[in-house]
Amino acid sequence: MLFRPLYQFPARVQRWYRHVLWRCNVAQRAVYLTFDDGPIPEMTPKILAILREKQVKATFFCVGDNARKYPELLRMILADGHRVGNHTFHHLPGLKTSLSAYLRDVSDCDALLRQAGAQMDKPLFRPPYGRMKSSQKRELLNAGYTIVLWDVLTHDYNKAYAPEKMLEVIQRYTRNGSIVVFHDSLKSSERMLEVLPKAIDFWRQEGYELRIL
């Protein structure tokens, strides 16, 4: 039996962690697909190929240093019409990082994304590991960022999760406005690539529209 808090934070937790985005347009039957940690050559082109085949747009929360190493992959993401968000430059753990260092790392990632041509007038930010200090959250909100967490965690990075279990999580916990997080990383690898097209098919069969943040 699935233990709900591992996959979807209860409403009371979401209300406590205020002023961040967990779900979108909860009255509408829509899903918002997101990917963290890329871009990397081993995964990003394969993800983009699936999304292209399925005619789906998504949001990629990019690590700035990966985008620096592989600028052609960032250009591919943007050329395919996907949105990009900031995931810090070095995938910093907010709870272990000073406010000044954290903000500097976010700024460095932001500058690189802008230089690549990303539209950052309404910037999106997702904290690595989904955790950050209150001071970091406050400063980024004041700077105009929308801080995006998630409503469904697929656990694609966890080797203990077979593709079948991942798909069960998605099927059980998707609801109106769910923001779903996958990972554009080696840890997610084959499990995510197997589950992604099946998840897209499931959402469409259930009448969900796949939207971009």
Question: Catalytic residue numbers?
Answer: 36, 183
Question: Distance between CA 206 and CA 203 in Å, rounded?
Answer: 5
Q: Which residues pair with 85 in a beta bridge?
A: 61
Handedness of CA 128, 134, 136, 142 (dihedral sign): positive
Distance CA 102, CA 94 (A): 7
DSSP 150-203: -SEE--TT-TTS-HHHHHHHHHHH--TTEEEEEE-STTTHHHHHHHHHHHHHHH
